[in-house]
Amino acid sequence: MKSYFYDLADFIQSRLHGGEDYTAWLSGERSDFVRFNHGKVRQAGEVQQLYLSLRLIRGQKHVAISLALTGMVEADQNRVGGALAHLRDLLVDVADDPHLLLNTIPQAGDRYESSRLPASEAMVEDVVAAANGYDFVGFLASGPMFSGFANSWGQRNWHETASFSLDWSLYAGGDKAVKAGYAATEWQREQFHHKFDHAAAQLLLLQKPARTIAPGQYRAYLTPDAMGELMGMMNWDGFSEKSLRTKRSSLIKLADDELSLNPMVNLREHTVEGLAPAFQAEGFIKPAHVDLIREGRFAGSLISPRTAKEYGVVTNGADGSEGFESLQMAAGDLPQDRALAELGTGLYISNLWYLNFSDRINCRVTGMTRFATFWVENGEIVAPLNVMRFDDSLFRMLGSNLAALTRERDLLVETQTYDSRQSNSMLLPGALLSEMTLVL
């Protein structure tokens, strides 16, 4: 696909009129999607998709189109030729854009990993065999993904990997389940069975009668998965420079030094160790890392080229959404196998779910416990917990009420597939909270 895209870039270049420039971003995948329920296959199929985001620029005017392509050279050249004509027509009507910032100095940035994936049908056979006798529900996504960038200043970038993710739950009945995942670039049957057996063993804990607790404040241990949901809320425009400037960020009080998090909290956008491309849609190369929170204090924001131009600051290669893609949180010193003992009596929360702000300016977040969440007494799991709603400020949860972070960290790979498969990831520890507020 790389040579196909670079040839397409040359074609676009050859069709430009005097005074015109372009940027082009290609994203595509050839994915097998298999959905499971009750240990069987619910829906299985293949999706091949290829999208080109083409921006035509004349001076300070520019317009863009997102175009579905076929991967067939002649057909796609025709489509792109038609799109250019459309963009020229649109360009007449738009005003100069004072916030346009382009990267006119070509920068390299390539990554290619050839596929080591087996046929998806073979993975399905392994999954169905392992799931026999279990109430297994889940989703397998597998195949290559690629992204490319090109512009009229000669920059060419390519990022191509092939991977799979199997995200599944084993149900004990009702809404009680254990959730697990396996994502990699190579399917290792033994590793899959190891993860499956580990999840299956946890099912036994869910067989006990569930307990309902009253709203109130409780000690809590959040697994890295649960922490991932809290980080996701911070990524909801929290570190966006534009949102900070326009006072819509939930971290305004952190950025303004009005409030702080616990000194244990260190967050970094760590592109160099992530799975996402190191270049973005306008052709800017991302730095190896950007510190976001250092020892509980605000350390930096994510700045897109557009925001950089608008506010007269320097871009750090963030996409237009200004969210992190390869987050790392520094580890603490609590051994994970000591988490229950240190928790003592309280909640062991495997997953959080459906978070949203209840008071954004104060970074107050609500959400639900989900999957294997337990009531713990004296360091021992006593009973699965019926789902509870929490509503608490992250300034408390990750501030004064943060008691410890685990020494071990888990790599969480994004499994949502809206529009396309994702390459976002987070490397996170678990967290022990001295207090967490449950409300319903």
Partner 1 sequence: MIEEVRQRFRQLNPGVEFCSLRWVEERSETYSVRQDVEQPASMTLDGGVMITVIHRGGYGYAATSDVSATGLSKALERAKAWADASRQHSVFDYSSVALPRPVGRYQSPTPVVPRASRRELLDLLMAESQACKVNDKIVDWHAFIEFKQSHQLYLTHDGAEVEQQFDFVVPGLVVTAFGDGDSQSRSLGGQYNGYCRQGGMEIIHQSGLFGSGRRVAEEALELLAAPNCPSGNMDLLLKPEQMMLQIHESIGHPLELDRILGDERNYAGTSFVTLDMFGHYQYGSALLNVSYDPTLQNEFAAYGWDDDGTAVQKTLLIENGLLKRPLGGTISQARAGTDGVANSRACSWNRPPIDRMANLNVELGDKTLDEMIGGIEYGVMMDTNVSWSIDDSRNKFQFGCEKGWLIKNGQIQHVVKNPNYRGISATFWRSLKAVGDHSTFDVMGTPFCGKGEPSQVIRVGHASPACLFGGVDVFGGEE
Residue 49 to residue 69: CA distance in whole angstroms: 8
Tell me whether residue 155 or residue 249 sits nearer to partner 1 (CB atom).
Answer: 249
The piece of 145-153, 183-191, 193-201, 388-396 that touches partner 1 (CB under 8 A) is 388-396
Using CB under 8 A, which of 24, 26, 67, 281 touches partner 1? 67
Regarding 99 and contact with partner 1 (CB under 8 A), the answer is: yes
197: CB partners within 8 A, 6+ apart? none
Helix boundaries (H) for 277-338: 305-311
Contact at 8 Å (CB) between 266 and 293?
A: yes
Residues 27-66 as x/- pattern, contact with partner 1 by CB under 8 A: ----xxxxxxxx-xxxxxxxxxxxx---x------xxxxx
Tell me whether residue 18 or residue 418 sits nearer to partner 1 (CB atom).
Answer: 418
Tell me whether residue 278 or residue 438 sits nearer to partner 1 (CB atom).
Answer: 438
How far apart are CB 337 and partner 1 at their closest, in Å? 27
Q: Residue 261: what are its φ and ψ, rounded to 5°?
A: -100, 175
Regarding 355 and contact with partner 1 (CB under 8 A), the answer is: yes
3: CB partners within 8 A, 6+ apart? none
Residue 417 to residue 324: CA distance in whole angstroms: 17
Regarding 393 and contact with partner 1 (CB under 8 A), the answer is: yes
**Residue 427 burial by Cβ neighbours in a 10 Å radius (0-12, 13-18, 19+):** buried
Regarding 124 and contact with partner 1 (CB under 8 A), the answer is: yes
Strand partners, 343: none
Regarding 86 and contact with partner 1 (CB under 8 A), the answer is: yes
- By CB under 8 A, the residues from 184 to 213 that bind partner 1 are none
The piece of 13-21, 193-201, 223-231, 410-418 that touches partner 1 (CB under 8 A) is 410-418
432: CB partners within 8 A, 6+ apart? 219, 220, 221, 222, 334, 339, 342, 343, 402, 403, 404, 405
- By CB under 8 A, the residues from 213 to 232 that bind partner 1 are none
How far apart are CB 40 and partner 1 at their closest, in Å? 4
The piece of 311-319, 332-340, 349-357, 403-411 that touches partner 1 (CB under 8 A) is 349-357
Regarding 168 and contact with partner 1 (CB under 8 A), the answer is: yes
Nearest to 261 by CA among 206, 329, 210, 346: 329
The piece of 137-145, 206-214, 220-228, 339-347 that touches partner 1 (CB under 8 A) is 137-145
Tell me whether residue 152 or residue 328 sits nearer to partner 1 (CB atom).
Answer: 152
β-strand 20-37 against 267-269: which pairing, if any? unpaired
Regarding 73 and contact with partner 1 (CB under 8 A), the answer is: no
Regarding 77 and contact with partner 1 (CB under 8 A), the answer is: no
Rg (CA), the chain: 24
